[in-house]
Amino acid sequence: MFENIKAIKLSGAIFNTITTLNFFANNKKVALLFGRNGTCKSAIAKAFRKLAGEEIPNIIDAAFIDNSDTAINLDEESKRHIFVFDEDYVDKNVKLQRDHLETIVMLGPAADLAEQISAARANLEEARIIYERQVGVVKEYIGETNIKSPAYHINLIPDALRGDENWEGRNYRHI
């Protein structure tokens, strides 16, 4: 199917009328666009994205055409073979992590790791705050001389049990 593609027709964005771009006239199936800002590169990339099946609101129409200027309808499998490496692609898939003098470039799914690491650091800081609060609560109940401490009350138990009228004294009378 791609072998029959001669050009792309598009309208929308900056293209007010239907415009034909003969990117594939030489039977090459790769197009590389470069140019200054404002030369319609993004609009053309969006037209390719629309042909790949994305919803692009400001591109009204986009179609591949063959040598007889007939629109070529792509099936879903063919649409998956259209790749657009534009600013949107870079924003979604390439992240730069600057740390001192070294810069780390992460591509594809690895780019999401920077965001996950940032979120994990925020969660860790929140957990540290909760932990410190709990350490403060636990400290209230530590120490043999602290009336809130279980150890304080455990130390009082033997004294409370000793004596003739208490458990210890009654226990020895029956022996």
Query: Which residues in the chain land under pLDDT 70?
Result: 1, 25-29, 95-111, 114, 164, 167-175
What tens digit of pLDDT does each residue of 23-43 get?
776 666 677 778 888 888 888
Nearest-angstrom CA–CA distance, 145 and 151: 8
What tens digit of pLDDT does each residue of 5-18 get?
888 888 888 888 88
Q: Where are the domains of the chain?
A: 2-84, 91-139, 141-175
φ, ψ for residue 23, nearest 5 deg = -70, -30
What pairs with residue 8 in β-bridges?
21, 64
